[in-house]
Amino acid sequence: MNTSYQEFKPSPALEPFVECYWLHHFEASDNEESPVQRCLPFGTLELIIHLDDTRAFALFNNQWQKLPQAFFAGLYQDAVHWKSVGTTRKFGIQLKPETLPQLFNVPIASLFNNFTDMETFFGKNSNRLVENVYGLPDIQAVIRVAETFLLAQLRNLNAGRNYVYEATRLIRKTKGNLSIEDLSAHLYVSKRQLERSFKDHYGTTPKMYQRIIRFRNAYESFQQKPTLPNWLDASHTFGYSDQAHFIREFKTFTSDVPTMVFNGQGQYYRLPGRQLIRTHA
């Protein structure tokens, strides 16, 4: 079995909304199963499309379930286990959380820690995207179709001030190390109002999103290290109160301790810290 994973930068016009595009390719015989993969929570939304007939399977309630051809995943706080059988190509559009209400005028709160079929969520308009990328052998052609679809949504952009979107961006900018009290003070809203509105928009609290972003930054950092990091140093670097706090947070988001995650890197197919490939529009 051969496996490859690549990430691609969006065009400049879409950089405020799209973190990256990605392609995950398992090449195998018809009945050969891939190793079980773990998808970790990174504080993004995902539009995921199988580019061919073969589908991946995800583990829910201790049962493997076949995934739809195209689906949308909301913000997650849990790791998701999945595998492929036979050759499989999955294309993903990784979106910043504020993108959906800005460009598509759809709420995502109901899909916290959950996913749904893309047509169910976006309506029949999304079918054109799925149909136009199906079977394309060239990833750059797939990305061009995706960018055309997303750029068309820019006409729906509501550029008015929204303190929830500002809070989301500020949490990312500060790598999850700004307290919720300081965040609400910076935005001139009460902590209670910020928490209520954030949950109404995203289905979770700003504190949980802050924890996910802090975890993501810690995880990205040691993906770049050739040897086992010093976890005490890492806990201080990324704003955890102590090493025990750091380890507890890793277990929350990965179901494992940091050393096991580091030693099992092959199970984690998305490595957000790696260099992105510039698309050729």
CATH code, domain with 130: 2.60.120.10
Do 150 and 68 share a structural domain? yes
140 and 246 in a single domain? The answer is no
Owning domain of residue 114: 2-156
Whether 47 and 174 map to the same domain: the answer is no
Single residue among 105, 138, 156 that ends a domain in this structure:
156
**Helices of type H across 179-257:** 180-187, 191-202, 206-223, 231-237, 243-254
Q: What is the block-wise mean pLDDT of the chain (281 residues), using blocks of 10 residues?
A: 87 95 89 87 95 92 92 93 91 94 86 92 89 95 96 83 94 94 96 96 96 93 81 89 92 88 64 47 45
Phi, psi angle pair for 200, to nearest 5°: -60, -35
CA 173 to chain centre: 16
* 84 and 202 share one domain: no
Q: Is there a domain that residue 272 lies in?
A: no
CA dihedral angle for residue 124, residue 128, residue 129, residue 130, rounded to 10 degrees: 80
Residue 265 pLDDT: 58
Query: What is the model's pTM?
Result: 0.90
Q: What's the pLDDT at 280?
A: 47
Domain identity same for 41 and 146: yes
Please give the tally of structural domains in the chain.
2
pLDDT for the residue numbered 98: 92
Q: Is residue 186 domain-resident?
A: yes
Residue corresponding to tokens 């303190």: 163
Q: What confidence score (pLDDT) does residue 28 get? A: 84
pLDDT of residue 188: 95
User: Do 77 and 183 belong to one domain?
Assistant: no
**pLDDT at residue number 141:** 97
> What is the rounded CA–CA span in Å between residue 171 and residue 204?
14
Together in a domain, 39 and 62: yes
Can you give the length of the chain in residues?
281
Same domain (yes/no): 20, 95: yes
CATH number at residue 185: 1.10.10.60
Question: Tell me, what's the pLDDT at 281?
Answer: 45
Q: Let me know whether 66 and 24 are in one domain.
A: yes
| Residue 44, in any domain of the structure | yes
